[in-house]
Structure 1
Amino acid sequence: MNIIKEIPSKETYIVRQPVLRNGKPIESCIFEGDDLDTTHHFGLFDQDKLIGIISLFSQTNPIFAEKNQAQIRGMAVLESHQKKGFGDALVKHCENYCIENGIDLIWFNARTAAVGFYQKLNYKIIGAPFDIKDVGEHYLMSKKL
């Protein structure tokens, strides 16, 4: 049975590193703001094994007019568990959390390879692609809740 629950930031590293920072030191898995009281990390467990993660930051992007915004960062599912609906479940969990907490817009920087995944969940691309140093090409994406 799969369960999504809130986890400490340090627990995200075992999924962040192989999926998002492969070949890079564990320190590269630490994101600014990870340990703020307003940041929430959710882990998806399959029979007690952490297989997917997503982090939700209380971060406003001035491009958007909405006052109550949240940024998704570090969404990752272990490669052996990808394409099985776990990523969808993590994103929907964040959306429900945001709705329950009065957030009206989610935004994030999506890797080019993940754009199609997010578009299926009704996220829209905003603007042109841009490069994040040492990580690669990304697109700004958002969804009003």
Structure 2
Amino acid sequence: MNIKKISSIETYPVRHEVLRKGKPIETCQFKGDNDEYTTHFGFFFEDKLVGIISIFKENNILFPESNQFQIRGMAVLEEFQGKGLGAELVKKAENHCLNFNTNLIWFNARENAVPFYEKLNYKIIGDSFLIPDVGIHFVMYKKIQ
């Protein structure tokens, strides 16, 4: 098992299966996927891509820190969930962000993913909100420096 950088297009099969099931494949393309500071990582098991995470240089006005990154599209195929792969992907993203002197990582977490992120010391800020056709989310964050 290993984690390596991948292209945005390589994330689509896992994004589609886990995050956009039943929706057109075009919904797997995120604004900023190919920006200069965006990075995508894939978790491979026996040469099969089984988990993904994307890191975007994006500030959220909820936080005063000037150097923020946003996690988007974190997903692990269902048959590989609960094995620690997601935590490894998040740690890889955090270490990557440290290379850019990042102050804070934030993201919009699905309601059912909140306990997973809380175990990784992420905290909720504000109230829940609805993303149409996706579900209830919370903004979560962690200061990493």
TM-score range, shorter chain: over 0.9
Structure-2 residue corresponding to 1:95: 94
Determine helix, strand or coil for the equivalent of 1:129. strand
Identical-pair percentage: 60
Structure-2 residue corresponding to 1:59: 58
After superposition, the C-alpha distances for 1:82-141 in whole angstroms (9 at most, x for unaligned) are 000000000000011111221110000000000000000000000110001111100000
State the distance in 2 between where 1:101 and 1:5 align: 18
Which structure 2 segments of 5+ residues have no match? none
State the distance in 1 between where 2:59 and 2:124 align: 17
How far the C-alpha of 1:33 sits from its partner, in A, is: 0.7
Structure-1 residue corresponding to 2:7: 8
Determine helix, strand or coil for the equivalent of 2:127. strand
Where has structure 1 moved over 4 Å in runs of 4 or more? Answer: none
Which structure 1 segments of 5+ residues have no match? none
After superposition, the C-alpha distances for 1:12-44 in whole angstroms (9 at most, x for unaligned) are 011000100011110010111111111101001
The RMSD of aligned alpha carbons is 0.6
TM-score by length of 1: 0.98
After superposition, the C-alpha distances for 1:32-80 in whole angstroms (9 at most, x for unaligned) are 1111111101001011110000000000001101111000000000000
